[in-house]
Amino acid sequence: MKYFFLVLIILSLNSCYSLKNVSIPPELQTYYINKFDNKTFNSPPVITQLFEEKLLNKIRNESRLRYQEIDPNIEFSGAIVGYNVLSVAPEPNETTAFNRLQITVQVSYENGLDEKDKWQQNFSFFENYSSDVNLLDVQDNLISLIYDQIVEDIFNKAFTNW
């Protein structure tokens, strides 16, 4: 009985690990992240660099793909197309309980080995913050949290087909 459970645990751990790259065909070896444009007028100037770094690190750390600028198998490109601060949850006396920072990233994905494997999609996410806090005080942390989710969504769309 102990051996049965041991084998079951080993198989479970092995299958969990193997799911990580299950949708990346073996012929795909390299990727490239093109410079993303900033099409917003009110965002911090480094917002595209922060996004590119997050996406680069995600792919580098969670896939077997190598970064390559010349003739990559997979290429990502796009733009930051939305950076909006919204007032949410109105309260009496025309105030709001919290504000929302929402970022939208337009992403194009192209597989150079399969011309049918390409797509373009907008990815958006938001974080709320207290209305009595200055955005500049929490902006860097909010952007990082929002980008974590957007990059996760892009990674899943590109490599896991979820």
3-state secondary structure labels for all residues of the chain: CHHHHHHHHHHHHHHHHHHHHCCCCCCCCEEEECCCEECCCCCCCCHHHHHHHHHHHHHHHHCCCEECCCCCCEEEEEEEEEEEEEEEEEEHHHEEEEEEEEEEEEEEEEECCCCCCEEEEEEEEEEEEECCCCHHHHHHHHHHHHHHHHHHHHHHHHHHCC
Q: What is the mean pLDDT of the chain?
A: 86
In this predicted structure, what is the pLDDT of residue 25?
A: 86
pLDDT band at 160 (very low <50, low <70, confident <90, very high): confident
Average pLDDT over residues 32-57: 96
- Domains of the chain, each with CATH number or no CATH: 25-160 (3.30.160.150)
Six-digit token string for 149 = 């989710």
Query: How much is the pTM?
Result: 0.82
pLDDT, tens only, 1-33 = 555 544 445 555 544 333 444 478 889 999 999
